Amino acid sequence: MQSYIFGVDIGGTSIKIGLFDRLGTLLEKRSIETDVRDGGMNIIGDLVKALRTFDVEASLVEGIGIGVPGPVKDGIVGQAVNLGWKNYDVGAVMSAGWGLPVKIAIHNDANLAALGEQVAGAAQDVKNLVFFTLGTGVGGGIVSDGKIIEGAHGAGGEIGHMLVGDKGFACACGNRDCLETIASASGIKRLAEHYVNHTAMPSRLRQESYYSAKYIFDLAMADDLLAVAIIEDVTDTLARAAQILSVVIDPEAFVFGGGVSRAGDFLIDKIREKYQRIAFPTLRDIRFVTAHLGNDAGIYGAYKAVRDAD
């Protein structure tokens, strides 16, 4: 008999839902708004209601995989600031809300995005990968021998907080020089402000009151001297992070997703070239690729997490 799996990616503004057959075919995709009022206590109830609107018998649902923006251990979310959750047993609440025996798999959203790229995206031919999400912040996920590395505290893959910067920029976590203070979209903008204020290099950036990370990349591609220096700094920092991760994880591939990764080969080629200069010799052939699944990576990973729960 046919069975189905829901893959869910809970974000601070929307919840993405994918309905999959057991073989991993995405049959239908929807999204609903995330209600973060009242400490996020309505989120799972809203999700259950949304799942029940799909045209499948509840008894044929084999499992529900859920990604959340925070550390997760054994189905318990340590803290998801954007949702208002702290030490919240999502697995238990979801099981009670669904009301029928079903497999529930709860993981960090970036970890599931990494798994999604491994099962259906840019890394389908590898079992070991590190996934960088370069967005407003920097997140990540690590897949080793096809399995997510969650760690003892559910914080495995929080690569945005590797201390690889050199500007002394403060991070929201309380440290300075975290990777995300340089390599995120917000970090790139802050780095640009630093260069504008502390160098004399000519640049169109000096004529602007606001600039996005994309604009900085566009200027760098057009050989704007200051923008080039900024992107060289960003890619130096990402290459250092990749080198450290390479000797710890020994992945087959580094996969880059998130808005910043839309710079494509211009970004990836620079990181790869710089990485290869400092790599441990045995690890110089690790692949550097851009993610393929975009915003769907999380729901594919959530599907796979249910399958892996067999």
pLDDT tens string for the chain (310 positions)?
689 999 999 998 999 999 999 999 999 999 999 999 999 999 999 999 999 999 999 999 999 999 999 899 999 999 888 899 999 999 999 999 999 999 999 999 999 999 999 999 999 999 999 999 999 889 999 999 999 999 999 999 999 999 999 999 999 889 999 999 999 999 999 999 999 999 999 999 999 888 899 999 999 999 999 999 999 999 999 999 999 999 999 999 999 999 999 999 999 999 999 999 999 999 999 999 999 999 999 999 999 999 988 6
The answer to whether residues 17 and 7 touch, using CB atoms and an 8 Å cutoff, is yes
Distance CA 237, CA 243 (A): 10
CATH architecture of the domain formed by 4-115+296-308: 2-Layer Sandwich (3.30)
Domain boundaries, the chain: 4-115+296-308, 125-291
Return the CATH number of the domain spanning residue range 125-291: 3.30.420.40
The answer to whether residues 286 and 251 touch, using CB atoms and an 8 Å cutoff, is yes
4-115+296-308 matches 125-291 in fold: yes
